């Protein structure tokens, strides 16, 4: 069975998904594309050989020739479009975040619980990154003892001037919130956000530094620096009782010249997590073809990450540690920790 995918949104991330689906996901076809910019939709449809350009997201979701939907439109549209997919009974992979507010996330959860079947996967692709997979397997093997601390660094080359510290928490750090929950198999219970005082006048986005506690007593610290300038750099070290495990980035070459050695940094997240996106999208399609629930982040995980982000934004504003309060986890999401 070929899974016919409809893609909503072909900006930077959506275009990358289109190319991944047609080049690296056996068993899937890119059947339809929608984007608010019709010219951009047409260009990606032509490049990737999509059958049609849809007139609206609703037309795409309702198209009987679409088996599954991938949402990569602006964050503010994710919740409503995911609910439209649930209403249509179609599996959906929604890019992170599930929705900008936990209230909107809970509306999606209510719709999926009412539908009674897990249809939603959220695009927290680091769960499929081979380095994070090995990190989790290393501590689950028992060789390292219990995890104690999880050090995380997440640096972008640059972001636009309008990209605020709150967005660094809600748009960037949500990846660490999700991957910390997944690696540790534990929810996060409190967050305290700091910023350095030192900065050049006029620099808009300075680093944010977050300290979180997990429900099983681990400390998680996250540095988000979105104007690091030197390269896209994501690091992680899980410190356990008898050992540590650190991420290694997928580097394929080292250049030696003029008495120097250089190893390239990627310019943004797409090359660093290319394997993660391929593996995520392959697993999503494979589960759909097999009639099984997705193995990636669920709508509950999407809600959890947004709830942590909301507490983090409040902590930064109020200058104190903030508890992360979540509602009771519905049975639909208790079955397995994905
Ligand atoms: C961006 O939205 C992403 O999702 C990337 O994975 C992340 O590395 C980047 O910091 C975010 O802004």
In angstroms, rounded to a whole number, what is the distance separating the alpha carbons of residues 129 and 60? 30
Threshold 0.85, pTM exceeds: yes
Instruction: Judge if the beta carbon of residue 227 lies within 6 A of ligand 1.
Output: no
The predicted pLDDT at position 299 comes to: 98
User: What single DSSP character describes residue 54?
Assistant: -
C-alpha to C-alpha distances, 93 to 130, 160, 251, nearest whole angstrom: 20, 27, 28
Which residues share a beta bridge with 189?
Answer: none
Pairing of strands 244-246, 233-240: antiparallel
Two structure tokens written together for 93: 């992979």
- Alpha-carbon distance 298 to 284, whole Å? 12
Given a cut of 70, is residue 327 above it in pLDDT? yes
DSSP secondary structure of 130-196: HHHHHHHHHHHTTTT-SEEEEEEEEE-S---TT--HHHIIIIITHHHHHHHHHHHTS-EEEEEEE--
Which residue, among 127, 213, 187, has the nearest Cα to 329 in the 3D structure?
Answer: 187
Ligand 1 atom with least separation from CA of 234: 8
Q: State mean pLDDT over 140-147.
A: 98
Task: Tell me the H-state helices in 205-322.
Answer: 269-272, 274-289, 299-318
Decide: helix, strand or coil at residue 296.
coil
Distance CA 305, CA 191 (A): 12
pLDDT of residue 336: 52
pLDDT above 70 coverage of the chain, percent: 98
Q: In what order do the strands lie in the sheet with 3-8?
A: 52-53, 28-34, 3-8, 68-71, 92-94, 120-122
The pLDDT of residue 326 is above 60: yes
Question: Using a 6 Å cutoff on CB, does residue 102 contact ligand 1?
Answer: no
Closest CA to 177 of 303, 308, 80, 50: 308
* CA of 96, closest atom in ligand 1: 4
Q: Compute the distance between CA of residue 121 and CA of residue 234 in angstroms, rounded to an integer.
A: 23
260 beta partners: 257
- CB of 272 closer than 8 Å to CB of 232: yes
**Closest listed residue to residue 122, CA positions, set 49, 65, 181:** 181
- Which percentage of the chain shows pLDDT scores above 90? 94
| pLDDT tens-digit readout, 71-118 | 999 999 999 999 999 999 999 999 999 999 999 999 999 999 999 999
Confirm or reject: Cβ of 269 under 6 Å from ligand 1: yes
Q: Among 26-40, 136-150, 198-212, which is the least confidently predicted range?
A: 198-212
Is the confidence at residue 337, as pLDDT, over 60?
Answer: no
- Number of Cβ within a 10 Å radius of residue 283: 17
- Structural domains in the chain, CATH included, are 3-126+275-298 (3.40.50.720), 127-268+306-323 (3.30.360.10)
Task: Encode pLDDT of 194-237 as tens digits.
Answer: 999 877 787 767 899 999 999 999 999 999 999 999 999 999 99
For residue 209, what is the enclosing H or E element?
A: strand 208-214
**CB of 31 closer than 6 angstroms to any ligand 1 atom:** no
Probe residue for ligand 1, chosen from 14, 76, 128, 156 as the CB with the greatest number of ligand atoms within 8 Å: 156
pLDDT level of residue 338 (50, 70, 90 thresholds): low
Q: What is the dihedral of CA 74, 80, 86, 89, to 10 degrees?
A: -80
Tell me the average pLDDT across 253-264: 97
* Ligand 1 atom closest to residue 273's alpha carbon, by position in its atom list: 6
Question: Beta-carbon neighbour count of residue 12 at 10 Å?
Answer: 11
Q: What is the mean pLDDT of residues 310-337?
A: 92
pLDDT tens per residue, range 276-295? 999 999 999 999 999 999 89
Q: Which of 98, 269, 270 to mutate to test the pocket of ligand 1 (most atoms within 8 A of CB)?
A: 269
Query: Is the CB of 171 within 6 Å of ligand 1?
Result: yes
**How far apart are the C-alpha atoms of 220 and 315, rounded to whole Å?**
15
Rounded average pLDDT over 5-11 = 98
120, β-bridge pairs:
92
Q: How does the average pLDDT of the chain come out, rounded?
A: 96
- pLDDT value of residue 86: 98
Find the helix or strand (DSSP H, E) in which 38 lies. Answer: helix 38-48
CA distance 129 to 335: 23
């Amino acid at each position: 069975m070929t899974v016919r995918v409809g893609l909503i949104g072909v900006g930077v991330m959506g275009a990358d998904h289109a190319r991944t689906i047609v080049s690296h996901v056996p068993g899937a076809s890119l059947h339809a594309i929608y984007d608010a910019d019709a010219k951009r939709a047409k260009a990606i449809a032509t490049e990737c050989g999509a059958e049609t350009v849809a007139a609206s997201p609703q037309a795409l979701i309702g198209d009987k020739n679409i088996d599954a939907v991938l949402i990569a439109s602006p964050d503010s549209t994710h919740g409503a479009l995911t609910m439209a997919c649930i209403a249509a009974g179609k599996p959906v992979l929604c890019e992170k975040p599930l929705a900008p507010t936990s209230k909107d996330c809970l509306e999606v959860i209510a719709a999926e619980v009412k539908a009674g079947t897990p249809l939603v996967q959220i695009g927290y692709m680091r769960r499929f990154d081979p380095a994070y997979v090995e990190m989790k397997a290393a501590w689950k093997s028992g060789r390292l003892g219990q995890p104690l601390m999880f050090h995380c660094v997440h640096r972008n080359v640059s972001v636009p001037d309008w990209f605020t510290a709150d967005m660094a928490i809600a748009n960037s750090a949500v990846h660490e919130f999700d991957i910390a929950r997944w690696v540790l198999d534990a929810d996060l219970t409190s967050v305290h956000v700091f910023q350095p005082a030192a900065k050049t006048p006029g620099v808009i986005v300075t680093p944010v530094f977050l300290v979180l506690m997990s429900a099983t007593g681990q400390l998680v610290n996250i540095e988000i620096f979105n104007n690091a300038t030197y390269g896209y750099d994501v690091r992680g070290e899980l410190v356990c009782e008898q050992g540590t495990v650190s991420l290694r980035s997928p580097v394929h070459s080292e250049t030696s010249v003029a008495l120097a050695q250089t190893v390239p940094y990627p310019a943004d997240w797409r090359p660093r997590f290319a394997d993660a996106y391929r593996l995520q999208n392959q697993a999503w399609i494979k589960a759909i073809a097999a009639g099984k629930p997705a193995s990636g982040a669920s709508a509950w995980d999407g809600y959890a990450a947004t709830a942590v982000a909301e507490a983090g934004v409040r902590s930064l504003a109020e200058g104190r540690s903030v508890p992360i309060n979540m509602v009771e986890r519905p049975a639909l999401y208790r079955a397995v920790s994905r």
